[in-house]
Structure 1
Amino acid sequence: MLISDVIYEKFTVAPVLQELIQSNPVKRLNGVHQGGAIYLVNPEWNVTRYEHSLGVMLLIKKMGGSVEEQIAGLLHDISHTAFSHVIDYALENRHENYHEEIFEEILIKSDVPSILDKFGYDYRDIVLDESKWSILEQPAPDLCADRVDYTLRDMFQYGMISLDEVKSFLDSLKVVEGKMCLDSIDAAEWFVETYYKEVIDFFLGPLNIYSNDRFAKIIKRALEVGVLTLDDLLKQDHEVIEQLQASQDEYILKGLGQLNKHVEVEENESDYDLHRTNKVRLIDPLVQVNGSVKRVSKVSDGVKAMNQKAYEKSLRGTYVKVKSV
């Protein structure tokens, strides 16, 4: 099976991956937007968990990861609920890890274990402990396939970086002693800047904060009055929207009406309607300099400054003034 991707181009994948891509848990992700409810206010902000999951799998393959690690990469997001992290805001889960808490349950109930067994794999050896896969996942501030893909994919899709810049960055990306690192300070500085465009300028942008906050309140209300159950959130985004629209709840219907492409908001710390902080996300890639590997912040004052600014903004959060809906 030949997989074509705008970021990583074309790869042939193993038969087990072909079958997993066609499985229900993976196909469902094609209807789950990575940015949550933001596509309701800007239809162009439409990257899905499916695109990201295939991208993580392909990046792992590109970096020389095993078929087992590619499987783990493909499956790592199958437990994301509709609208991704909106459920965390609705449940006031500051760790933003609801999908991780339910991952094993979702996996076991799916056809994934039987598919893996058919090809001689035990799901317990592959997907229940991501820490064994050093390309797929690393704790911040390291690079990993998950962190790299969602940054590149979102920022390219939303016009913040060019495909030439992406290709140049990927050419600099290496695996040294099991960890991703870069072979130039310039590439590391570029990624740090790009990552903060994602997790600060985009994630904490006022329109993003508004849409996800408003939709989280809708989800919370729907759960409280029985319009939705947590199991309903294991559907695709459009199915949840249809279920909400069919309700007779005035609060829910009014809230849905306030999520449209005509919304106007601004950041205003002195006169605001809502305030939100997100999980602190910092990045400090490893870089290979003169044969040794070190944090780029050790050799770049620019990265030190960007990290400090991002940290302060994460703690301060975003103050949003709603001008019109």
Structure 2
Amino acid sequence: MTIDDAIYGEHHIDGVLAELLQSKAVQRLKKIHQGGASFLVNPTWNVTRYEHSVGVMILVKMLGGSVEEQIAALLHDISHTAFSHIVDHVLEEKDEDYHEQIFMDVIEHSEVPSILQKYDYDYRMIEKWEQWTLLEQPLPNLCADRVDYTLRDLYTYGMISKQEVCSFLEDVTVHNGQICLQSVQAAEWFTEAYYKETIDFFLHPLNSYGYYILTKVLKEALRKNILHVSNFLADDETVLQMLRNSGDSEIEKMLSSLHSKVELEENRAEYDICYKGGKARLIDPCVYKNGKMQRASVVSPFVKQCNEKAKKQLQQNIYLKIQNV
């Protein structure tokens, strides 16, 4: 089968990867939005976990990753619940890792193990994340997961151009199994892009508002036994339909306030919503040049400055006053 990806173009996929792509567990990700509640407050913020998962798989392939690592890449988000990370807020998972906690259970209750066995792969190989050095890396390193969601969101939402994406990808290289860049310029560009994603997009007032309201809705639905935690393993639309069919006036009122015409003002003195800042998620790509590997912040004052500014911004609370719903 041929996949025409918005970021990486056409790629031929066959064998075990093609069969996994067609599985119910992977197809379900087409109905899970990457941005949680973002699609409810802005219909154009509509990237799905499926698009991202396929993209990460292709990027790992482009970087020379093994078929095994491509499998891990395709499946890495398979256990994301409806509304993605919003469920971490609902369940008060401070590390935002609920999908990781349930990962193997979701895999084992899907057709994935039998598909992998058919091609002589043991599904338990996926569990050893430390071996997938292209797919996952701790911050501040680059990894395929982090690179894809940054490029995909920003390109889809018109915040970067296709030419910028292509130029950046040409600069990406792999050294000792780790993704790095060949020029300081590419490191500076990606650092700036990453903070457009994690600050300008993730913490956009409308996005913060959507997260806050939908978290309240889901907590209330759990409290009233309208939903159970197991329902989150369905998809966004299924859970929304359950909420709409509940007949609960409070939930209906909150859901009706999730739309694109909400007017918000950042106001520390008078606010309706305080969205708490979390841990500073900083990026500092490695630059491999002339046989030498260095952090971008060491060779670029711009990257260092970006990180200092982002650290302050990411730790601050967001105070929003609702002007009009």
Name the TM tier (shorter chain).
over 0.9
TM-score (norm 2): 0.98
Distance 1:161 1:267, change over 3 A: same
Alpha-carbon deviations, 1:147-196, whole Å to 9, x = none? 00000000000100000000000000000110000000000000000000
Partner of residue 280, structure 2 = 280
Q: Which residue in 2 is equivalent to 1:167?
A: 166
1:143-292 aligned within 5 A: 143-276=142-275, 277-292=277-292
Deviations 1:41-71 (A, max 9, x none): 1000000000000000000000000000000
Aligned AA (2:12): T
Distance in 2, Cα, partners of 1:130 & 1:255:
39
2:53 & 2:153 partners in 1: Cα distance? 13
Gaps of 5+ in 2: none
- Which runs of no fewer than 5 residues in structure 1 stay unpaired? none
Q: Distance in 2 between matches of 1:317 and 1:151?
A: 23
1:257 Cα deviation (Å)? 0.8
Q: Distance in 2 between matches of 1:36 and 1:65?
A: 29
Which residue of the partner structure matches residue 47 of structure 2? 47
Report what 2:67 is aligned to.
67
Once the two structures are overlaid, the 10-residue window that deviates more, 286-295 or 49-58, is 286-295
* CA distances 1:205-253 after superposition (whole Å, capped 9, x unpaired): 1111100110011001111111111111111111111100001222211
Deviates more, 1:307-316 or 1:261-270: 261-270
Counterparts of 1:321 and 1:301, CA distance in 2: 36
Counterpart CA distance in 2 for 1:267 and 1:118 is 55
Q: Is the 8 A contact 1:275 1:320 kept in 2?
A: yes
1:204/1:317 contact within 8 Å kept: no
Q: Describe the SS at the equivalent of 2:179.
A: strand
- Does residue 36 (structure 1) correspond to residue 4 (structure 2)? The answer is no
**For 1:291 and 1:101, how far apart are their aligned partners in 2?**
39
Identity %: 53
Moved over 6 A (4+): none
For normalisation by structure 1, the TM-score amounts to 0.98
Q: C-alpha deviations, 1:54-111, integer Å up to 9, x for none?
A: 0000000000000000000000001000010010111121111110011111110100
More divergent stretch after superposition (285-294 vs 213-222): 285-294
Distance in 1 between residues matched to 2:199 and 2:251, nearest whole Å = 29
Distance of 2:152 and 2:267 partners within structure 1: 29
> In the alignment, which residue of structure 1 is the partner of 2:95?
95
Q: What are the equivalent positions in structure 2 for 1:8-27 lying under 5 Å apart?
A: 8-27=8-27
Q: Distance in 1 between matches of 2:272 and 2:311?
A: 23
Whole-Å separation in 1 of the counterparts to 2:305 and 2:231: 44
Deviates more, 1:49-58 or 1:255-264: 255-264
Counterpart secondary structure, 1:181: strand
Alignment match, 1:316? 316
Structure 2: how far apart are the matches of 1:89 and 1:225? 18
Structure 2 counterpart of 1:180, which letter? I
Q: Distance in 2 between matches of 1:266 and 1:141?
A: 32
Deviates more, 1:174-183 or 1:258-267: 258-267
Give aligned pairs, total: 324
Bigger drift between 267-276 and 253-262 goes to 267-276
Question: Which letter maps to 2:196?
Answer: K
